[in-house]
Structure 1
Amino acid sequence: MMNLKNIALSAVAIAAITGCGDTTIYQEPSNVTIIGDTISTTTGTTGSTGTVTITPTSFDTILAGAKFLPQETLAGNISTSMTLTNDKLWVIDGLAVVKSGVILTIEPGTVIAGLEGTGDATSYMIVDKGADILADGTKDKPIIFTSMQRVEDPTNLAVGQWGGLTLIGHAGNSQVTPYEVNTAYTADATDMADSSGTLRNVYILNSGITMADQKEINGLSLIGVGSGTTIEDITVDYSDDDGIEIWGGTVNLTNITISNCTDDYFDIDDGYSGTVKNLVINTTTGNAGIEMSGTTAATFDGFTITTGVTQKKEGAIFFKKGGIGGHFKNGTIIHNGGQITPDGAIHSSPAADGLVDIANVSFENVAMTAPAELLFTGDSAADLEAKFNAGTGNEICSIPTSATLAGNLTGCKILTADKIWELDGLVVVTSGSKLNIQEGTTIVGLPGTGDATSYMIVDKGAKISAIGTATKPIIFTSQNTAAQEVGLWGGLTLIGHAGNSQVTPYEVNTAYTADATDMADNSGILKYVKILNSGITMADQKEINGLSLIGVGSGTTIEDITVDYSDDDGIEIWGGTVNLTNITISNCTDDYFDIDDGYSGTVKNLDINTTTGNAGIEMSGTTAATFDGFTITTGVTQKKEGGVFFKKGGIGGHFKNGTIIHNGGQITPDGAIHSSPAADGLVDIANVSFENVAITTGVDLDFTGDSAADLETEFTLGTGNSVTIK
């Protein structure tokens, strides 16, 4: 990453560096100092003040460096399989077509830029049916499709600088016609599970060209694409038509962020029947958040749609023509009003264009806030409102009038990103209530200890929907937002219905306890959430962790979570069946990931750095959770307990596809895999397994404790395990 210093930036440049999307720019001061890799500027906020620190991302670095790379041109037919490497800038000149039978592989960190042009000279890419695109980026090395103008000037945020990316597959249907932009290309309907490849961690920027009336290239176009295709972690920003449009097909999409489009943001047509999970839309310009037409009923599970006052029309969700259905669950709609055409949050077309297929519409756990007259509009409004009211867990919500939250939160509340929200003491989302948090929102805990400790409990029967994005995470932190210290506020606690006989009342506050009535209980969604500067000891053995989960069920979604600087555990789980994915924990003073009392879920992609504190993973209670994909690095300033600690008798655990780098030097020299003294009970070795686990450690620091021999034997018997002594 570039080491930039003392550069004066315009507001537009700041927007470019902070990433894509609806960025609020504070123009004073106009001089921003970049020290090392960190940009610091003081901004005005509501509810709290402080210095906001912006760190340039790998996206910024990759884009800024692209113009210095040697260039290679993509034009016409790509008839032979090839790899686009990240050491070149790949330039699309006119139409580039990946032909049937060809595999186009794109390395992580690669930039593909379309040249300027319109009509037949428009630069865009088609991946035809029978071809595959393997564009599998990473968070640190995303793949970027953009314009040559944006490459030459990364602060150029204009729409319509090149065409876009189009995939065509074998999963069409009778409604799907030839590709409207270029009728030489058409889907067929021979394989509903067809695979057109993988798009993951991909940005599509500055796109959208109108070739002729009703012939527009979108950021990403999918025509008859099948369910065997992987489309995940996609950002479309600045499109001069739709962000994403889908004609027919069965493909599923996950983790989609769309902003700054001039037409619709997510448009489905012609019988598209897939599922879209974790969709975040900000309609600062253009038309509908989601537009739907054609005889179809797609599913949207986990979404946040925020409409801006400069949006033109059509609201958050637009049922455009007759025969359209749709299933919506676990979503938040923030409809701000003020649009040029005052359509409602959920809008429908005139009866002359056909009425909604209301029998094929459902709403579940959808929270909505809008002016009273702008909830449901159009000629199917009454039917849609009745269906919404009849659904489970749907509510018309309010935004709290005060930025300071205290005591019980009841009903349905939405926290928006236009202010900093403060927790003053204990804040409880009560049973039956919902808390929805917009992407990019910051919640700070006021300082205090004992009964004055600021922390949040989401009680059993309540739900939290906190769906952030990679560029706009939701942040729980201390009042001093720039701090990198432990123990400045409490933390976040979820309590559910998936406990068991081992789970006792919440040790911090025994008024709150899990029950064991529903192992698949749903406490909501935490997605792209950071929990910082947390951890308060209320009394001996009564510590608030960064994230505490008590009897939380498998219906809950917890993904892409960062816990940093906790004055106790990073994450602690008592019982429950919830699964966690993409978890990063660092700088804790006790354990990093602690499971107790029969927790039986699966943890995928866990990254722990124990620079301080105790065990990377600590386990107690009769249980055997699964850890699949993990990296645990222990630092020489770690106190004790190694990488994985089997703390008490009866504990098991399944570990696969992991790495433990145990650096030694700990105050107490425990091994990479450590177990308790026999007096505390031996490991349940019959319920332990290791598969594809690599340990690097010092002499006599591989397996320690009174179950060491059994654990080493089990490790040796497992498939693909290795120990390297350094």
Structure 2
Amino acid sequence: MSQFSNLKSILLAGAALTIAACTQGSDIQSPGASNPGTPPTGGGGGGSGGTVSADTCPAGFAAGDVVDLPSGPDQVACDIAGTILTNIALPYKDDDGDGVPVAYRLSGRVNVGIDVGADGAASDGDPAVLTIQPGVTVFGESGSDFLVINRGSRIEAEGAEDAPIVFTSLDDLEAGGAFRADAIGEWGGLVLLGRAPINRCEGGGTPGMADCENVIEGVTAPEAPYGGGVTDDNSGTLRYVRVQYSGFPLSSGNELNGISFGGVGTGTTVDYVQVHNSSDDGIEMFGGTVNLKHIVLTGEDDDSLDTDNGWSGKVQFLLVSQADNRGDNGFEMSSAGTSVSPATNPTIANFTIVGSTKATDPGNGLRINSGHIGRFLNGVVQDQDECFRWQDAGNDNATFDGIGTDPAFNSVLFDCGAGGLTIEDPETPAAVASVAADPNNSEDTSSITMNFQPGAKELSPMATPFAVETLDPAFFVEADYLGAFSPDETETNNWATGWTNHVFTDPGCPDGTSDTGNTINGTRVCLLAGNFDGDPVMGTPSYTEVNITRGNFYELDGRVDIGSDVGNDGLNADGQSIALNIEPGVSIFGNSGSDFLVVNRGSQIFSNGTRQNPVVFTSEADLQDTVSPSLRLDSIGEWGGLVILGRAPINRCEGGGTPGMADCENVIEGVTAPEAQYGGGEAADNSGMLMYTLVKFAGFPLSSGNELNGISFGGVGSGTKVEYVQVHNNSDDGIEMFGGTVDLKHIVLTGNDDDSLDTDNGWNGNVQFVIVKQRDGRGDNGFEMSSAGTGVSPATNPTIANFTIVGSTKATDPGNAFRINSGHIGRFINGVVEDQDECFRWQDAGNDNATFDGIGVDPSFDNTLFDCGTGGLTIDTPETPAAVASVGAGADNTTAIDVNLINGFINDTAAAGRTAFTDLPTNVDLFFEDVSYIGAVENASDDWWDEWSCGLVADDC
């Protein structure tokens, strides 16, 4: 065991080491809520109380007092005081395996080494190394207890994921690590000082040069200097370290932070570090070059990350979460002015900032001023007020050090509150210009979960992450997402779990839901019931959104309405608009056909699934998983379905109105009293977003022709985003479109018992990349397409590109790939159609080649391969010539090639050899992607459908 010797005290003259026990009777127990008393990997420990020997403190320490705790092992505190002048270690100690862990108490200011000077040659300098073993706890009792690593010395605090090193307070130990939201400033903090360059000099010197020095804030006489000319200076290692409940103000602007880095160099390792509930800043950088990785800053009372004095380090993977009703800025960033070199100019990638919820003066995501530059990449900034306070940032776009000096942002999502991006002040144009300089930046509502995991908007394709690894491959690792956490991580398995404190919370059942008291496979079940209409629920005030957090299952109890219908004009006095926000990985279920979800006109659903964590609407039987997936191949109709209603135009009016006009309304099928209405005059109406969302085993027939589908879209507008959506094994249609203008992209429709895509009532949306795979022995048509007749405007007239339809193999009445009737038009591009019988059932499609709305009204086809079965292209009916003519009108359509699709839906060599139509229609939103292939899936390397969908290549539904 390491010995303590040759220690010079600056607090008690002439004492080699002040050793004392903590106050008698204190309730001290092992620190850290997540892993109390955990020894280093492979160490001893465990057990409960017992007799404590007189030599419980490590060799070199006087015996510590024993504190009897109500339960668990006793704990002994061994003091550290003065100045450490030799290489020593704080070992993890549990009384030789008898289960009595030791904590080390900082008694006043504790120095490691004596400052060696900017040049390392100070005559009285005396460096030392303090090594702290995994699992060790170091604590202070007041703001005057803190640790300083002086220039030339090092701290080697190398913890482990399951045994972090914890710097904390006596009060925390006495509380047993319990959550204390507003506990701050209970001891001093940690100070690391180095000889790397700084730009703010005290008493002379040239900024950035070896003679530029300063004294660290928060430390009184003797002052503690930092700075020099050693860029790669090494102050040691902080890895798997927590600093909590620290901070101490000497005076305004002169405070101890959680961790203060003064002139610390790149030779220092800072990785997996948390600062929690500091009374001042979490981490403050005073110049230097040190890099940081895997940093968590939570609950700080001032700024979470404060940068100044020419710091030019790098950061990757940084979480900032300000405390409710406390805290100031996520980042507070300054330099020594607009003409001092080196400027403060860090590069920070993969960061998440969640601002304070203070009612007044809530601070900002970023406060940037005084010549600070900086580059910020792949970030999420979420603030209830303005995202920026931009005060003389950079150098007003002048050239400085050859660098455009305003901060640069690449692939950052700004979710700003009432203040927007920034308030109107002289610097607003520079702030706006910096964000606008990269089209991959966005101002939008983020989709991160309450526990900071990414949603659809933080991932491709909605986000375009910057390839940060190209900036410095030696430091930055590939991370193609926005924010601190990857989509492969969860709240219980990510880089911050296991060693941090009070970061990830159990969401419980969210407001508006109730705990059923039941579990499914160990997961709590929360109830969704009734009408979410903004009225107070469960003791909460009136609300405008409902947040469905992951970590629970959610049961639909009967018909569940989101909002109350606002009417076709949005002015219904009884209407109420509500947003339903669903986090990635959530599963919502029903257990009968009467359980279904209705999103009414004026309200929105944000189903924020991701490829790795889709949102799933399914049945209780599916979640119970009582039978193997292979035995559920024919499971259908186990719950109701999803209904989304909007105010976009439709062409089939109930009770009067003019087709296509605002007064044309209808009631959605499958929903009984009170009926649910759709339609209006808002083509760009926004009903929210479905992204990476699965609807399985749904559908419920009220009567013939009046059924709940997997998803029913009624009058939904083009402002709604529907991408990466699957409906599987629905008892009626997979998706049915009742008018509207909404677009669809990357759609999977499998195993549906009637039609896979049913279009009607004047729908005029666009679709690209859709897989239709009918179930063996079941199902009807791939596309069933109709309108309100041959003389009603607007006709149902979608444009569908890159589709693959694989029809049913039913022995009798197998249905068709297309059933087109009742005045339906439509344009179909780059398709692959494989059907065992006839490809078409063509019934009064279009308007018998008459001109209608200025459009040749029979459907048109471009570059589509028809592999039809015994019925050929279509049976001999009066419409056969029109069907043949429509297909024949496109020179690159073919009915003469057989396909053998890979896994039944991926292009084989025959499909891959076909020429694609490349002059795809364009619109203001640039919806269609240019492709060089027909069909929905180019080849075996095209995997847009993989990971999140089910039932295409395996019985995994």
- Tell me the TM-score normalized by structure 1: 0.48
Question: Larger helix proportion, structure 1 or 2?
Answer: 1
Which protein, 1 or 2, shows the higher relative CO under an 8 Å CA cutoff with sep ≥ 6? Answer: 1
